[in-house]
Amino acid sequence: MKAFVFPGQGAQYPGMGNDLYANVPEAKELFEKANEILGFSITDIMFKGTDEQLRQTNVTQPAIFLHSVILAKSLGGAFNPDMVAGHSLGEFSALVAAGALSFEDGLTLVSKRAAAMQKACEANPSTMAAVLALPDEKVEEICASIEGVVVPANYNCPGQLVISGSNEAIDAACAKLLEAGAKRALKLSVGGAFHSPLMEPAKQELQAAIEAAPFAKPICPVYQNVDAKPYTDPAKIKTNLIAQLTAPVRWTQIVQNMIADGANEFVEVGPGKVLAGLVGKISRNVSVTSIQTIGI
């Protein structure tokens, strides 16, 4: 069985999607429609912008979403998932690719999500850190022992967990994690504490937009970040999507559950190869490929 997976923030690179725009008329049309919806030329930044410009949350999230979704649509019949999932932002790409949300509604929600997250970050300076080579349980235990807000945010693969919280709590947690034997506890250059209680204002802002958007039943189960389980019911999908901003991304558990449910082939669609790498670390018994463009 085939699982298609979609990357999240951090996968962007200058020039992403340019070959699709130049060579696939339907892709060009969707990119131009995106410029209209967003009210600025995101294609200029994607195709000709700098790393720095692409790293702005209000650009990064729509850019990765657009590259992933337009690529999935450009695959035609080769996009034939038995199941889909996306990492954080990538969950929106997965939902659009699987037909649970229209392209326009998906992009509008992603744009609102990025703006709300940016605002929450500015209101409450905070960060994230990658922790390597400690069991998840140990990281959870140490986070719980720290004063202030610090929580597990991304369960990426065994031995790689990202924590999220206030600057002071992250510093205190990193020191304790290194003492406990972590190979690294490295602060990330991100805008703020994604997937933590500090994103509550963004969650509240996004909730009304998600509730108002029309969702349909997807063509296959969508394994969602909050509990790593498969869903096809639009009402449940909405509820999980709202909870996603302040809850951890359970990527390790998603991949394990997909494999338990029969997935033996994983295809990453979109910029970068981050998820392909993580899937390979979670299981060596599945085939993994990464598609960043189509054979033009």
Any idea which residues carry the catalytic annotation?
A: 88, 195
Residue 42, by phi and psi: left (phi above 0), alpha (psi -120 to 50) or beta? alpha
Of 49, 40, 62, residue with least CA distance to 18? 49
Residue 119 and residue 78 in contact, taking contact as beta carbons nearer than 8 Å? no
Determine the residue type at 219. I
Contact by Cβ (8 Å): 146, 94: no
CA dist 176 → 125, 150, 171, 186, 271 (Å): 21, 12, 9, 12, 34
Contact 270, 110 (CB under 8 A): no
Beta strands in 39-148 (DSSP E): 83-86, 126-132
Distance in angstroms (rounded) separating the CA atoms of residues 241 and 58 = 19
